[in-house]
Amino acid sequence: MQAFKQHDMLPESSHDEQARQDFVMAFRGHLSGALMPGAYRVYHQRVEPAFRAARGRAPADQEEVRQVMTQDPYYQFWSAMQRRSQEMLWESVIEPTERQLPELIGRSRKLSKKTLAKGRKGTLRLDPALVVPKYHTAADIHLQPGGYHTDFTADDVAAGVVYDKGINIYMGGALGPENNLTGDTLLAYFREKHPQSRPARILDMGCAIGNCAVPWGRAFPDAELHAIDVGAPVLRYAHARAQALGVPIHFSQQNAEATDFEAGSFDLVVSHIMLHETSKSALVRILKECHRLLRPGALMLHLEIPRGKTVIEKFMHNWESYNNNETFCRYMTNIDLKSEAVKGGFDPAKTRMDEFVPKLDVAQMNYTESFFWNILAAHR
Amino acid sequence: MKKTAKNTSRARATARDAARPSARRSAPAASTARRAAPAPVRIARIAKGKKPQYFSDPAIDKLLWMTLTLMEELSVTRDRLDAVENLLEGRRVLKIADVDGYRPAAAAGRRRQAQRAAYVDRMMRAAQAELEEITGRDMPLSEAEVVAAVEA
């Protein structure tokens, strides 16, 4: 595994701050690799047989699994520790970020003015009037205090810094040196299915810190690459980070449900594990907006996390919903993304769901024993 | 009276500003002067949202929280000790093998033993306290008994 790359927008960690981050990563690795699989064993050997003995049948759905599993002492203990590990993860990166925040904001201002290779330059367009959707403001997603959207000071970049360092620990380093794994995964899928395609204008929706947009920018350096999000502090950070990495990207603060881009103006619209952070009504609106933005024949790709096939897998996946403020993800279990895309205006004959398997270590997976990605792909 | 009300609303506005600092920039100049040395920015530590209860007694949730945080700090301390040992070895002050092979001489050994026993005693007092409550001489059995003893 490649080491996390220290670029100009990341804070330094003191010995003890680094030791705390290292501990959290080791602790979470143990929870995922050694203790989480035990929850499946406990279900098969103890919880499910007891349910059968009492009711004469197996649990019918994840809600029935939930009723019995949350009473099991092994599951309770793993679950409580998993929750605490997530809180500790943020704490361990908030400390160095807070300590160096004024300097980081200063660096972001300087980087914003930097001209990149071939005289190109990324841009940032914020909209202070934008209403941040309730799926962000009702509860802080992933337990990151303040979420993607809270400014703790003027020109704040803290949410982005904390997110960049935090998600690397979250995935046990598996996201790669620039947290590039999810971007690379969708890019690999795109290249496999459309080897000749050279999109000239690309949009990344729900870009957060732009970690998925950067690989697209590197892959298609001549393309005009746009990336949108609703959170101002993550966008300020994303802009400075992309400038630091030398990739020109045009960031703007916009809701993917309704953007100000011209209809039919994109060759490719992508998102990376964004849809499950939205809401039932937003989901269709986003897909409708994708349909509007694509020129005829152009492609939409959304990378999503599968929600499990068996009742226990579904229950384990939705740990995130009940314990990690991924409020919407449990509703995604029963949503057919293909039919949602059709509701959004896409032709069923040109819309498909694909499973895509990246090479990942089980010890890096939090709630499941096997892993693949879901990809919603549709041509306009 | 009116002044107090005004001050209170200003205090509230200040609290809001701290939470939403973009508003701070549009605050009147007078209040900026008052804040000559602004307090360092503090990032929230607690996420918004309902925290689940994992065990039958919420106290167990809190104890596990504390235990895991202690586990983290012990790991940090071991890493730090390791850093100190490596730095000292690098500067030829000692060899790490010396620490591994260290056996305290008689006096140092006795001091260490006494320190260890005192530490164990402090930790185990949580259980000892309950035992003394039951078996101690003249132990009052209730708070009312204590009050009665004082009044008498």
| CA B60 to each of CA A36, A72, A143, B57: distance values in angstroms, whole numbers, following the listed order | 20, 15, 21, 6
Question: What would the mean pLDDT of B70-78 be, rounded to a whole number?
Answer: 96
Task: From A214, A227, A218, select the one nearest A268 (Cα to Cα).
Answer: A227
* A96-100, A244-248, B6-10: segment of lowest average pLDDT: B6-10
pLDDT in tens, B31-70: 445 557 778 899 999 999 988 999 999 999 999 999 999 9
**Cβ(A101)–Cβ(A159) under 8 Å?**
no
Q: Is the ipTM of this complex over 0.85?
A: no
Chain A 26-45, residues with CB within 8 Å of chain B CB atoms: 26-27
pLDDT in tens, B87-139: 999 999 999 999 989 999 999 999 999 999 888 888 888 778 777 877 877 88
Global confidence as pTM: 0.86
Backbone angles phi, psi at A178, to 5 degrees: -120, 30
- The verdict on B74 touching A (C-beta cutoff 8 Å) is no
Q: How many CB pairs under 8 A join A and B?
A: 106
The alpha carbon of residue B104 is apart from the nearest alpha carbon of chain A, in Å, by 29
Q: What is the dihedral of CA B113, B118, B121, B123, to 10 degrees?
A: -100
Among candidates B46, B55, B80 on the partner chain, residue whose Cβ is nearest the Cβ of A19: B80
pLDDT in tens, A226-281: 999 999 999 999 999 999 999 999 999 999 999 999 999 999 999 999 999 999 99
> Which chain A residue is nearest to residue B18, measuring alpha carbons?
A152
Element spanning A178, H or E: none
**3-class SS at A379?**
strand
Q: What is the dihedral of CA A224, A230, A236, A241, to 10 degrees?
A: -60
Residues of B in contact with A326 (CB under 8 A): none
The alpha carbon of residue A216 is apart from the nearest alpha carbon of chain B, in Å, by 32
Q: What domains are defined for chain A?
A: 1-380 (3.40.50.150)
Task: From A177, A142, A170, select the one nearest A27 (Cα to Cα).
Answer: A170
The residue type of B117 is: A
Sheet of strand A123-125: strand arrangement: A123-125, A250-253, A224-229, A201-205, A266-272, A294-304, A373-379, A351-356
The alpha carbon of residue B90 is apart from the nearest alpha carbon of chain A, in Å, by 17
Neighbour-count burial of A312, counting CB atoms closer than 10 A to its CB (0-12 exposed, 13-18 middle, 19+ buried): buried
DSSP track, B74-138: HHHHHHHHHHHHHHHHHTTS--HHHHHH----HHHHHHHHHHHHHHHHHHHHHHHHHHHHHHSTT
Given a cut of 90, whether residue A287 has pLDDT beyond it is yes
pLDDT level of residue A370 (50, 70, 90 thresholds): low
Residues of B in contact with A88 (CB under 8 A): 68-69, 72
pLDDT of residue A364: 53
CA A104 to chain centre: 23
**Cβ(A259)–Cβ(A178) under 8 Å?**
no
Residues of B in contact with A323 (CB under 8 A): 52
C-alpha Rg value of chain A to the nearest Å:
21
d(C-alpha A108, C-alpha A93), whole Å: 18
Count Cα neighbours of A223 within 13 Å in the Cβ-side half-sphere. 25
Average pLDDT over chain A, rounded to an integer: 94
pLDDT level of residue B12 (50, 70, 90 thresholds): very low
Cβ partners under 8 Å of residue A333, min gap 6: A62, A307, A308, A314, A317, A318
The alpha carbon of residue A328 is apart from the nearest alpha carbon of chain B, in Å, by 13
Quote the longest CA-to-CA distance of chain A.
Answer: 71
pLDDT in tens, A119-164: 999 999 999 999 999 999 999 999 999 999 999 999 999 999 999 9
* A28-37, A196-205, A344-353: segment of lowest average pLDDT: A28-37
- For chain B, the structural domain boundaries read 1-49, 58-139
